[in-house]
Amino acid sequence: MLYSFLKDKTWLSHNIKKYYSEYNWLELIKPGLQQFFENFKKEIINEEKSNWILCIDSLSTKFEGILRDYIILSGGCVTKYKNDNIQESLMGDLLQNNITIKDFQKDKKFFEYIFSDKGVNLRNNVSHSFYKPDDYNIKKAILILICILKLSKYNF
């Protein structure tokens, strides 16, 4: 049901042409969403312990990519010049991007709390393997899903 909503009502199902490929974010997050709902059912309905590692690892890093593409599709820049090189902006820079500041006034602080060092720092902790098995849980998975849903409601 959520998948159908995201497919029919959000930009996540729109095909994006980048470089020499075409993709959409819904297909990229589909395995993470499936894992989320399998784990959710197991933990909440069946009252069994679930393993949230794959779901959280997948969806937390995908959020950064979704945000990056939103900024690009809105006409923003996601690269920066540093040490004589052009680099992709990382999560902290994306959260401070002019597009993010302008478009996500209501949700920006929440995104920062979840994905930056101003709060949970989830993306960094996942990307650098700081989390250990006990750090992965349903609460963090729900927070990521909420962030993805919030981001999907915007249009460029």
46 pLDDT exceeds 90? no
Between the CA atoms of 131, 133, 138 and 141, what dihedral angle is there, to the nearest 10 degrees? Answer: 40
Burial 99-123 (b: 16+ CB within 10 A, else e): bbeebbeebeeebbebbbeeebbbb
pLDDT of residue 3: 92
User: What is 124-142 written as a DSSP string?
Assistant: HHHHTT---GGG--HHHHH
Residue 22's Cα: distance from chain center in Å?
19
Q: Summarize the confidence of residues 85-95 as an average pLDDT.
A: 92
From 65-74, 83-92, 142-151, the region with the lowest mean pLDDT = 83-92
Percent helix / strand / coil, the chain, rounded to 5: 60, 10, 30
Interatomic CA distance for residues 143 and 77, integer angstroms: 27
Calculate ∠ Cα 144-150-154, nearest 5°. Answer: 140
Among 54, 80, 82, 76, CA closest to 140: 54
Q: Summarize the confidence of residues 131-146 as an average pLDDT.
A: 97
Mean pLDDT score across all residues of the chain: 94
pLDDT of residue 156: 76
Interatomic CA distance for residues 42 and 46, integer angstroms: 5
pLDDT of residue 80: 87
- Summarize pLDDT for 58-82 with one digit per residue, the tens: 999 999 999 999 999 999 999 988 8
